[in-house]
Amino acid sequence: MQRSKVLLLASALSFFSALYPYATLAVIVLSAFSSRAFNPFTKDSIYSPGFRRNTSLALLILSILEGVTGFGSGPSTSTVISNLTFGILTRGLSLELHLALVIPLGLLFTLHTVSGFGSLLVSRGVKNQVIYSYVIPITWILLYLAMLYLDLEYFL
């Protein structure tokens, strides 16, 4: 990929990152109203082992990217990361990506947490549908809002 295209992508990412938290919150609220996603007795639910495996893999990838871009935005380690990535990750681009990756990382982390809690309840034999349809999605939204508030508090 050419350097100009990478810079164009980074500038577009920083432009849309201002609206990204609100769009993500809209997706969360809309998915919370999905009856299949939070039904523990369907194979497509967030409580299935396959879903938890996928979220943990995505968390691993995002965490590695967060770490690399964090080192790339540091004053003493930016030259090392820039040399390792053949000049693609400059200090400014690393900082932009590092700040932009916080929201998807927090989203997946909260989703993975409530998914694990829900599957723990399923394995214990809890069959109350109110917990799975309302309590866990509301907990997910509140955890994400708390994370979003703490992240945006940094910029205010």
Helices (H), 77-135: 78-84, 91-100, 102-123, 129-130
**Using an 8 Å Cβ cutoff, are 115 and 51 in contact?**
yes
For residue 122, give Cα distances in angstroms to 22, 35, 39, 51, 69.
31, 16, 10, 14, 38
For the whole prediction, is pTM greater than 0.75? Answer: no
Mean pLDDT across the chain: 79
pLDDT at 60 over 90: yes
Residue ranges covered by each domain of the chain: 3-30+47-153
114 phi-psi bin (left φ>0, alpha ψ -120 to 50, beta other): alpha
pLDDT tens digits, 68-108: 988 888 888 878 888 888 888 888 888 888 888 888 888 88
Average pLDDT over residues 103-124: 89
When mean pLDDT is compared over 27-31, 57-61, 135-139, the highest value belongs to: 57-61
Give, as one character, the DSSP assignment of residue 48. Answer: S
